[in-house]
Structure 1
Amino acid sequence: MKRLKRLLACLILLCCAPLALAQPTPLLTPEQLRADLRFIQESIAATHPEPGFSADPAAVRQAYEYIAEQMQVPMSPDQAWRLLAMLNPLYADGHLAITPAGPLAQSQAFLEAGGRFFPYEVSLDAAGGLRIRAQLGGAPSPLQGARITSINSAPASGIVADLLARSHGDTAAFRASLLSLRWPFMYWKMLGATPQYALQFDDGQRLTVAGAATLPAYLAGNDSFAQQFRFELLPGKAALLTLNTFSWRDKGQFTTFTADAFRQVRKTGVQTLLIDVRANGGGNDDMWIDGVLRYIADKPYRWASTYRKKVIKGRDSAREKLGDVIDGEIGSWQQPQLDDPLHFSGNTYLLVGRRTYSSSILLSNVMQDFGFGKVVGAAGQARTRQSGGTQNFVLPNSGLELGVPRLLFQRPSGAATPVLLQPDIVLPDSPYNERELIDAVLNLQT
């Protein structure tokens, strides 16, 4: 709680900081701010089956009280986010979060109005060091790996700490990975934008760089099928199937793509298949059930063993009353399709990493528990017992978004450990070169 108070103590100054190029918006009154806070509390209470699953209820309750005390002056929606988002790390669940609404639309409008983002994609190392990964948008940078120590004369460590204090996710490591991905947008929301960024590096080098009129990479590729899904034949009768999301609007397009991929696997005699979900934040389970496991499962399986759910409005019935918390077992099993001409029985590796989450964690659980392949990559940063069925709310006054899960799932085996995703084969995964892990897995075959 001392740490929370120390972090919140700077909010008055932060809330008064201007946002460059922000469009004039009506300020929210203290009454409206407190109404949004109550809306958050009530929505979670009505939706989440077990808030203590990931959070310390006492710490969250104290934070609610402290945040309410700070709502003494009018604030803009962005200022409200800076305050309310302090709850995110306390919730400690990637599906339970308070976020700005429509980051893509906001970013596009920002650029159209002449705004400029922080000019680099970044990576946070284990010690919280801020390092350049690429130019904004993903193009290579000669500064790759350089550690930034200050931005516009402000210590980078302080900026990182302030942003991590508003990041969501299961663990501190997961929150750092998510912040790495969303850094340019989060930096803008927290500190505003400037035409130039004066950077200092740990080697003493100083550099002033113009802001970039480019979308951050994580936003730019969301609507591109070719960027989300790829298939590649590799040397040594191997192949790489990259699946960056299970949340694609056209399931038929996805399953047609994977069927064609497995057709090429059969045609070319592939013996080793790498399925890369390192950047996959989840989506719908039926995508990988129908698009992937139908070709590699060799025994009956289920995607989880037990569940806990909250009965919410619209899903209640005579048997399940509104507000009930129900525990149950997953009784439906998927049957293998061994007679499918595209069935693959070679070596299968599932590549996991810092951003593997939600439905892709469930896929990893299935792969491990039923022996459909080896899970390979960096040590886990997210829980194997996942929440899901996320309900999305819009805060009535600020327009901020709130996600709340209504389901909890236990892995198919029912085992409570490991708590975090643990690969069968732990290998380093460079944030600067995604091919290193691929090559390392291929070397396992030699």
Structure 2
Amino acid sequence: MPAMPSEVRERPHASPHPPARSRRLPRLLEPAQRTGRVRWKVRGPAAWRPSPADRDILWLYLLTRIAIWITAYCARFLFPSDPVAHDPTPPLAPFQHWDWDHFLNVARDGYFPGGAGPWQPGWDNREAFFPGFPLVLRAVHFIVPDWTSAGLLISLVSGAVAVLALARITRHHLPDAEAGRRTVLFFLLSPCAVFLAVGYTEALFLALALPAWLAAQRRNWPLAMTLTAAATAVRVSGLFLAAALVTHFLLTARSIRDLRSLPWLALPALPLALFSWYLHAHTGDWMAWKHAQERGWFRTFHAPWEAWANTWHNAFDHAQSTGYAFMFQAELAAMVTGLVLLIVLARKRRWPETVYVALSLCALGTSYWYTSVPRAALLWWPLWIALAAWSLRSPRIKTAYLCLVTPLSTVFALTFLTGRWTG
């Protein structure tokens, strides 16, 4: 993969003096001259208006959402649970699978309804899921009565915020005008992009994490760490983001004044502390969320080579039915992709991103077997930026990516929408 420049190159202004303020744009554009360069800051109402580039991104986002909705509609007719059915499933049924049930149960009934809990047989281990998404789901439910529609609305709005932030991050690294749109295109057509369009946590997490990353680039640490804390309430991956931002802070702090923001760096630990305290009050276990993951999803600690061997055995040694074997193969492919990305980031000395991806791989690669690694790849935004940079240098890469990934995205979308995701 190609190098990713650490900052956007700026073209020096032709004049050493800033231009006079236009009467037509009073107080909206203010030049900030630094080392002979002019940077324009947008102020006032114009700052909230989407630029033409933003509108292009949102148009692309909307088209891919429509594509997923069309796929869900067709899946209801072509892949019914009953092969001889004459009526399709309800319109929203394709979006009501797997983890959605856990989020719905927590939002509607709480973590321990009626005194139920992990001490009972057949418990669903819902405390493994962090409370951020269920809390937002419950809030939106007051406006949107249907739970599934509320979940889809959260992901729809969150995804729009996420892709706009991703495009801005890309433009910060790559000077090409096409870079932002190219990155978003690769991201939205990635194999597991269907999870951005269903009632899952990925879109909401990215809608918080990516603006947090942008705020950190501008050294707005109170905003960056507040958004990171909110992301931590949604997924434990927020702690990996916090570690990456701490790394960025340590690498960019230049004066005593910068150290005044140091206390903000501890804020992302607060949601986890509060959630652990809540679970301890009901179960007597400070790590109840972690133990629920171990019971329900085999996330007990194993050496990385053991996790690889167990996943390989289930993928290729005929230990599982074909559906399960295919998903284990996808887990292996995603892990290899993550390791390659980690090496590229380390070689380019992009240490904050390296820390983020390394912690994610460590958490995912030390279970009994790999679980949800392809979904986690959605959260590795340096991957999509790196692919965009590569494709801008080698135009054939874009064609190859689209031709190879589009069928995978369709297959993965169908496996989720038809309830076959885990085999």
Q: Shared fold by TM > 0.5?
A: no
Richer in helix (by share): 2
